[in-house]
Amino acid sequence: MARLRIKDILKSSPTEQVITVKGWVRTFRNNSFIALNDGSTNNNLQVVVDFTNTDESILKRITTGAAISATGALLASLGKGQTVELKASSIEIIGDSDAEKYPLQPKKHSLEFLREIAHLRFRTNTFGAVFRVRNTLAFAIHQFFNEKGFLYIHTPIITSSDAEGAGEMFRVTNFDIANPPKDEQGQIDYKQDFFGKSTNLTVSGQLEGELAAMAFSDIYTFGPTFRAENSNTTRHLAEFWMIEPEMAFNDLTDNMNLAEEMLQYVMKVALEKNKEDIEFLSQRLEEEEKQKPQNERSELSLLDKLNFCLENKFERITYTQAIEILRESNHNKKKKFQYLIDKWGVDLQSEHERYLVEKHFKKPVILTDYPKEIKSFYMRQNDDGKTVAAMDILFPGIGEIVGGSQREERLEHLETRMAENGIPAEELSWYLDTRRFGSCPHAGFGLGFERLVLFVTGMTNIRDVIPFPRSPKNCEF
């Protein structure tokens, strides 16, 4: 008999038809009622066992975590809490779960504990919801770009370029690390390494993406990215997924429009497709908020926050305007910032970003036209000679979720900026070729996928929105 998914069964009406379901036992109450889950939804199917006619040895094996198959008639439920239930005529134990050793209990566990058993945390309501939402968001991103005619390009994971300036890199080698070959100067001789040169894991697909955009016009990458930074925060991972579109013949405004449209598109899809999961997460968050003191509680629920971001345009201001707002704020005048804003040119700290987003505008903010000194070499210089056509999108609770820019398409300007940043031109001659042959204005951005998942699920630690987090001193599984 074909296996039906619990999500579909719960939506159907009690047909009294005999069906088979397979899943894992969440709880077994009263020797009669199995809450069965198969991961298709957070809601469980109630399977009713007639314990007077079921073998004692089978009943004993219906334990939390066990995989079972149940066959029986789908009936209207006699109890409250569900409309249909399965009256089991036969129960088969597919995989036992020793109740004494199984770490998950039918109770609330801390996220820290579940992080230690990440291989089992998929089986909880919270992580079930989080990873179903993550799946929807990933698919929606592809759908969005596909509908817009963007080409999905696979940029390399192993790269020989170490000039992207996006952070510390993980080295890739097949040398015997205890005894690597040396050259005449006693330096490690990478000519003898697998690729015949020094190689690393990518920190960004942007530069390669730009190459493709110079032929296909509109492209995007969506893949894993690696940073060997010693970052211990709730917003950083050593291995994360990034979406990086790149568009030829586009300027900074086009870039902002696309980013905003994309974020709203995927949030809308998630709210539609994973309504129940997001409602669950929203409720979970509200209960967690009740533990906090009144003044630390957020004004909006997760659902309200998402809907608000869907319905309202993001605020767009320049760096210079932001500095003005911050400098004139009471917060600054009363010296409540740890880093006080005094002069133009300083980099914004997260306390300043949070103030703009959470206190001043109370909505997502796009900051543009930063001083060139605090931004990357490839960003296009504005006519004022001081700023570059950069944009960061700041989200409440997350901070920077998108970082992008219009790229410097003028060869001489780019070469000057590279020289100023100490990047040798021969390292990136392939990149400079795009400016030598048919250069054109173009723009793009990077979106940290896990930060998006954080925002949409309302989770607060990035390690809880990726199945197997990699961070300093942690690489389990």
Partner RNA sequence: UCCUUCUUAGCUCAGCUGGUUAGAGCACAUGACUGUUAAUCAUGGGGUCCCUGGUUCGAGCCCAGGAGAGGGAGCCA
Least separation, in Å, of the C-beta of 190 and RNA? 25
Figure out which of the listed residues 162, 276, 279, 400 binds RNA, where binding follows CB under 7 A: 400
Q: Is the dihedral of CA 97, 100, 104, 105 positive or negative?
A: positive
Kindly state whether residue 433 participates in binding RNA, applying the rule CB under 7 A: no
Enter the DSSP assignment of 314. P
Query: How does DSSP classify residue 27?
Result: E
Told to check if 29 binds RNA by CB under 7 A, we report yes
Q: How far is the CB of 89 from RNA (least distance, A)?
A: 13
* Residue range at the interface with RNA (CB under 7 A); choices 125-133, 147-155, 261-269, 457-465: 457-465
Question: Applying CB under 7 A, does 77 fall inside the site for RNA?
Answer: yes
> CA-to-CA distance for 122 and 432, rounded, in angstroms?
46
At its nearest, how many Å lie between RNA and the CB of residue 169?
A: 12
Nearer to RNA, 91 or 190 (CB): 91
180 is a contact residue toward RNA (CB under 7 A): no
- The single-letter DSSP state of residue 4 is P
What is the spatial distance between Cα 37 and Cα 298, in angstroms, rounded to a whole number?
Answer: 32
- To RNA, the closest distance from the beta carbon of 40 in angstroms equals 18
Distance CA 295, CA 364 (A): 21
Query: Footprint of RNA on residues 199-218 (CB under 7 A)?
Result: 204
d(CA 335, CA 400): 24
Region binding RNA by CB under 7 A among candidate stretches 121-129, 294-302, 413-421, 455-463: 455-463
DSSP notation for 408-468: ---HHHHHHHHHHTT--GGGGHHHHHHHHSS---EEEEEEEHHHHHHHHHT-S-GGGSSSS
- Tell me which H or E stretch contains 73: strand 67-76
Rule CB under 7 A: say whether 245 interacts with RNA.
no
- Residues in CB range of 271: below 8 A, 6 or more apart: 278, 303, 306, 307, 310
Out of 107, 290, 335, 343, the residue judged to bind RNA by CB under 7 A: 107
For 361-390, letters b (16+ CB in 10 Å) and e give: bebbbbbbbbbbeebbbbbbbbeeeebbbb
What whole-number distance in Å separates Cα of residue 388 and Cα of residue 370? 6
Asked if 347 interacts with RNA (CB under 7 A), we say yes
Q: Does residue 417 touch RNA according to CB under 7 A?
A: no
Shorter beta-carbon distance to RNA: residue 9 or 193: 9
Per CB under 7 A, contacts with RNA among 138-177 are 166-167
Tell me if 349 contacts RNA by CB under 7 A.
Answer: yes
Q: Is 43 in the site for RNA (CB under 7 A)?
A: no
User: Is there binding between residue 35 and RNA (CB under 7 A)?
Assistant: yes
Token pair belonging to 52: 């007077």
Ramachandran quadrant class, 190 (left: phi over 0; alpha: psi -120 to 50; beta: rest):
alpha
For residue 181, the minimal CB distance to RNA (Å) is 29
Q: How many CA atoms lie within 13 A of 343 on its CB side?
A: 1
Structure tokens at 105: 């209990």
Binding footprint of RNA, residue count (CB under 7 A): 70
Stretch near RNA under the rule CB under 7 A, chosen from 127-135, 248-256, 414-422, 443-451? 443-451
Smallest distance from the beta carbon of 201 to RNA, in angstroms? 13
46 makes contact with RNA (CB under 7 A)? yes
- Going by C-alpha positions, the residue among 83, 85, 77 that lies closest to residue 35 is 85
Q: Does 278 bind RNA (CB under 7 A)?
A: no
Residue 9 DSSP SS3: helix
- Does 103 bind RNA (CB under 7 A)? Our answer is yes
Name which of 51 and 175 has its Cβ closer to RNA: 51
Q: Is 85 one of the binding residues for RNA (CB under 7 A)?
A: yes
Q: 141, 242, 256, 389: which one contacts RNA (CB under 7 A)?
A: 242
How many Å apart are CA 103 and CA 121, to the nearest integer?
10
Contact between 331 and RNA (CB under 7 A)? no
Compute the least distance from the CB of residue 73 to RNA, in Å.
11
HSE (CB half, 13 Å, CA atoms) of 34?
34
342 binds RNA (CB under 7 A): no
Backbone angles phi, psi at 186, to 5 degrees: 85, 5
**Which residue's CB is nearer to RNA, number 407 or number 463?**
463
Tokens of 398: 């997350």
| Comparison of 239 and 433: residue with beta carbon closer to RNA | 239
Q: What is the C-alpha separation between 139 and 147, in angstroms, rounded?
A: 12
Q: Which of 182, 257, 279 is nearest to 443 (CA)?
A: 257
Minimum distance from CB of 157 to RNA (Å)?
16
**Residues 48-67 close enough to bind RNA by CB under 7 A:** 48, 51, 60, 63-64
Residue in 96, 162, 189, 229 binding RNA, rule: CB under 7 A? 229
Query: Distance between terminal CA atoms of the chain?
Result: 35
Site for RNA in 379-398 (CB under 7 A): none
Dihedral, CA atoms, 164, 166, 170, 174, nearest 10 degrees?
Answer: -10
List residues binding RNA (CB under 7 A).
Answer: 27, 29-33, 35, 46, 48, 51, 60, 63-64, 77-82, 85, 87, 99-100, 103, 105-110, 112-113, 115, 166-167, 204, 227, 229-238, 240, 242, 347, 349-351, 354, 399-403, 446-448, 450-451, 460-463, 473-474
